[in-house]
Amino acid sequence: MSKRAIILAGGKGTRLKPYTISLPKPLVPIGDVPILEIIIRQLKKAGFDHVTLTVNHMADIIQAYFGDGSKWQIKIDYSLELKPLSTMGPLTLIPDLPEDFLVMNGDVLTDLNFEEFYSLHVGRKSNFTIASYLRKDKVEYGVLIKNENSELVQFQEKPENDYLVSMGVYMMSKKNLDYIPFDTFFGFDHLMNTLIEKKQYPSIFQFNGYWLDIGRPTDYERAIEEYAGMNFYE
């Protein structure tokens, strides 16, 4: 069975400056390999045979690097956004989407098993499946908890908070396109709120392996440090 993936690669990478001043974010290197090439190699290993890159900012550089995908023995084509469409809006410009397909951001470094994630979604006949990750954030201050009389009743010294966050990796069925306006700025948040309102509740898959969104300089620098000792696609 053919497996299709859509990789969102059209953003400007504003949060990642200065690394993205002269390069599009999907081409910033992790070690000696662009993050997007790592993803494409992972998808090839997981049995995907067709990848569509949604491009906008510095699209010509991305297209020149990846071409038709023959270097990686996978079909690569492109969907060009003429204006920013966020995360879900670009899907409306792709005319040949299959019944189920993977959608992911082009700046995710993870050892998620994409083949298992794909099969899980299809096997459960889910409408939309979100890969999620439990992230711990440490508050760098002492936290004061007061009562209704503005009296201190509890003190927490630099507590850690846990958040279940989206990894920027999704499996979705084609019928979700009915909720996405054509060629319009429409994000993941817009679609999630719409599905909840329609009681078409997405499934959540909690992943416990390695995950980093390299959209911020601190996480990008951390990824560079950690990548050398890891094997993501061989």
Q: Is residue 171 part of a domain?
A: yes
Is the pLDDT score of 226 beyond 70?
yes
- Would residue 216 count as lying in a domain? yes
Residue ranges of E strands in 56-214: 75-80, 100-105, 108-110, 128-138, 142-146, 152-157, 160-173, 203-207, 211-213
**pTM greater than the 0.85 cutoff:** yes
Query: How do residues 149-191 score in pLDDT, each as one tens digit?
Result: 998 999 998 888 889 999 999 999 999 999 999 999 999 999 9
Per the domain annotation, does 75 fall within a domain? Answer: yes
pLDDT digits over 92-102, tens only?
999 999 999 99
Domain limits at 106? 4-131+166-227
Q: Which of 80, 66, 1, 70 is nearest to 38 (CA)?
A: 66
> What torsion do the CA atoms of 70, 72, 78, 84 make, to the nearest 10 degrees?
-160
* pLDDT of amino acid 113: 95
The tally of domains found in the chain comes to: 1
Does residue 233 lie in a domain region? no
Q: What is the domain-level CATH number for residue 205?
A: 3.90.550.10
Do the domain assignments include residue 60? yes
User: Confidence band (pLDDT; 50, 70, 90) for 213?
Assistant: confident
Would you say residue 145 lies in a domain? no
Give yes or no for residue 19 having a pLDDT over 60: no
List residues with catalytic annotation.
158
Which residue is listed with tokens 């560079």?
Answer: 224
**Residue 153, domain member (yes or no):** no
Report CA-CA distances (Å) from 190 to 90, 94, 154: 13, 19, 37
- pLDDT tens, residue by residue, 63-90: 999 999 999 999 999 999 988 899 999 9
